[in-house]
Amino acid sequence: MTNKELADVFALVADLLEIRGEVIYKTLAYRKASESLTGLGRDVNDIWKQGGIKALLEIPGVGKAIAEKIDELLATGQLQFLEKLKQDVPAELAELLQIPDLGPKKVGMFYKELGVLSIAQLKEAAEAGKLRDLPGMGEKSEIKILAGIESLGRRSGRLPLGSVLPFAEELLAVIHKLPGVKAAEMAGSLRRMRATVGDIDLIVGAEQPEAVIAAFVALPNVARVLGQGTVKSSVEFHNGMRAQLWVHRPERYGTALQYATGSKDHNVRLREMALDKGLSLSDQAFLKEDGSELLCATEEEVYAVLGLPYISPELREDRGEVQAALKGALPKLVTTEDIQGDLHMHTTWSDGQMSILQMAEAARQRGYKVIAITDHSPSLGLVNGLTPERLQEQRKEIEKARKKMGDSLLILHGIEVDMRADTTLDLPDEALAELDIVIASLHISMRQSRAQVTDRLLAAMHNPHVDIIGHPSNRNLPDREGADLDWDAVLKAAAETGTALEINANPRRLDLDDVQARRAVEMGIKLAINTDAHHSDHMDFLSYGVATARRGWVTAKDVINAWDPKDLLAWLKS
DNA sequence: GCCGTTTTCGGCCCGACTGTTTTCAGTCG
């Protein structure tokens, strides 16, 4: 079983326990373990094989009971505890929790009282008016459930960051202009720049919260108002996206923004620290023991009260950032300004939309000092990949572009060479040897076994001409999972061979992800943050790649395209 | 069920909003 499959089992256990009405903290423990397994950089199988149950206990959120369950699952593929649980609470019921405004208590009640097992049966019962007479239910609740079921069809769960952020930025610009708005910012996972986000969280500072909320829910692209109170409201827009807005008075803006940015676990950590100092931290203020409030207008003040330096939102995942902050050991995170160039882009020579010169011009306008032209290799027939012969021809055009750009931009001639299913590369070594830079990428036969697909990456890294592994897992957000790689082996080989790993900045990729990027820099592996642009506009993706790197604690010295081009050239030669 | 140099037991965030109630339960973030 993979980490993901284990995590899914424990998430299901958590859902079913919750429906059964188990103590909430037991439920939370399973959910926490599930999340911990999802975010774990290492393969649980390896940990288990090397150290058994004892080693499993080292995983955060995994104690004796859950470690034994992981052991059972990995040994037998089954979990007796879950099989027994299913006899009480049918597993299908977990699906009903997906319906907005429907939680474990009501799902449990509908099952017990009416035998409702599926969304279809629930819909039938609601339409027949059978829900309204149950305790705590009424006509409105029934309508709400039907609306929730309908919205399930429209909504697609978590969306890639790249398809939400541009809309959220426009929305924020509109909110800034609403009367009485003193300050406004995104919060939540969007501000932390997670690869996928569920909805848009917004915080506003204003003297008269209710007026701002009234104006917000009246925006023309609001399709439905999901909730509206005196400090908080939530809406669904015509494009299906949802946003929640909290409005606080400006003197409370810092605690509010900090609170809403999360993550939940990061905030729990801060509240614990606050309690140690005799303070209770909420979105409103620090509450002192004598009942008086300590207000923070900025996030910096919140952290300062706790004796901490400011912690960037991208780091706020409770992955050791608070401990590092206490020690003054937070990394100096890479920024978009650090980036000197883009080392992965396509042109009309393969599947790009612009010429070499057009891409070069665009790069120069962005202030870049270096680019690499890296079109596809021949086996990707659909994209008109380059044969050794066409590479020779392309070289001539690169030369022309170099003359045109002069000293203002260094143009490297490269390739994105495919890793074939049989572990060979898609171009002969002689062809690769003539190029300035070689990216090797996985595109086809991703569903090979872990051993096979990992071997392809290892083989590529051991080829002396390969400089960078492009989008290592080849994931495609939000749906296509990456290849089932043995990350320990991949990272070890990258460290040994001195091969850089790419953080592909395309928001559908963000690959390496933040977790593996962090492991990579801890192992001294170099990274490249590239956009894989197929059009000059795609160079804008850079900020997504940088955000992913920042989430992975990456500093400028870890990133080869944040170096002075002279140092980059020396590294490529070595 | 997990966790811990103040704790191996007793905590585990807590307030807003809604819809049902007539003071509160369920859901959400």
CA to C1' distance (Å), from A546 to B12: 35
A158 is near strand B: CB distance < 7 Å:
no
pLDDT over threshold 80, residue A43: yes
Q: Closest nucleotide to A231's CA, by C1' atom? A: B16
Enter the tokens of residue A53: 């149950």
Query: In the predicted model, what is the mean pLDDT of residues A547-566?
Result: 97
Q: Each residue of A514-523: pLDDT tens digit?
A: 999 999 999 9
Q: Each residue of A170-194: pLDDT tens digit?
A: 999 999 999 999 999 999 999 999 9
A64 is near strand B: CB distance < 7 Å:
yes
Q: Which domains does chain A have, with CATH numbers?
A: 3-152 (1.10.150.110), 159-248 (3.30.460.10), 260-326 (3.30.210.10), 336-573 (3.20.20.140)
Q: What is the pLDDT of residue A380?
A: 67
Q: A438 with A465: CB under 8 angstroms?
A: yes
Summary mean pLDDT of chain A:
92
pLDDT-derived band at A116 (thresholds 50, 70, 90) equals very high
CA to C1' distance (Å), from A57 to B2: 11
pLDDT over threshold 70, residue A154: no
H helix count then E strand count, chain A: 24, 17
Amino acid at residue number A134: L
Burial class of residue A375, CB neighbours in 10 A (0-12, 13-18, 19+): buried
pLDDT-derived band at A74 (thresholds 50, 70, 90) equals very high
Q: What is the pLDDT of residue A268?
A: 86
Q: A213 with A247: CB under 8 angstroms?
A: yes
Q: What is the pLDDT of residue A247?
A: 94
Establish how many alpha carbons lie within 13 A of residue A426's alpha carbon, considering only the half-sphere containing its beta carbon: 25
Q: A208 with A180: CB under 8 angstroms?
A: yes
Q: How far apart are CA A369 and CA A564, in angstroms?
A: 8
A24 is near strand B: CB distance < 7 Å:
no
Q: Which of A258-272, A386-400, A427-441 has the lowest mean pLDDT?
A: A258-272
pLDDT over threshold 70, residue A369: yes
pLDDT-derived band at A163 (thresholds 50, 70, 90) equals confident
Query: In the predicted model, what is the mean pLDDT of residues A379-390?
Result: 80
Q: A425 with A418: CB under 8 angstroms?
A: yes
Q: What is the pLDDT of residue A155?
A: 62
Chain B: nucleotides below 7 Å from protein CB are 1-3, 6, 11-21, 25-29
**In percent, how much of chain A has pLDDT > 90?**
67
Q: Which of A86-90, A131-135, A151-155, A500-504 has the lowest mean pLDDT?
A: A151-155
Q: What is the pLDDT of residue A477?
A: 83
Query: In the predicted model, what is the mean pLDDT of residues A116-124?
Result: 91
pLDDT-derived band at A30 (thresholds 50, 70, 90) equals very high
A232 is near strand B: CB distance < 7 Å:
yes
pLDDT over threshold 90, residue A378: no
Q: Closest nucleotide to A142's CA, by C1' atom? A: B19
Enter the tokens of residue A355: 């010429």
Q: A425 with A469: CB under 8 angstroms?
A: no
Q: For strand B, which residues in window 189-228 of chain A come within 7 Å by CB? A: 198-199, 201, 227-228
Report which of A484, A464, A463 is spatially closest to residue A473, judged by C-alpha positions: A484
Q: For strand B, which residues in window 356-415 of chain A come within 7 Å by CB? A: none
Q: A233 with A227: CB under 8 angstroms?
A: yes
Amino acid at residue number A426: D
* N residues, chain A: 574
Query: In the predicted model, what is the mean pLDDT of residues A128-135?
Result: 89
Q: How far is CA A109 from the centre of its chain?
A: 35
- What pTM was computed for the model? 0.84
Q: How far apart are CA A461 and CA A470, in angstroms?
A: 11
Q: What is the pLDDT of residue A481?
A: 79
pLDDT-derived band at A353 (thresholds 50, 70, 90) equals confident
pLDDT over threshold 80, residue A152: no
Query: In the predicted model, what is the mean pLDDT of residues A268-297?
Result: 87
Q: What is the pLDDT of residue A381?
A: 61
| Residue A366: other Cβ atoms inside 10 A | 16
Query: In the predicted model, what is the mean pLDDT of residues A314-324?
Result: 91
For B6, nearest residue by CA–C1' is A276
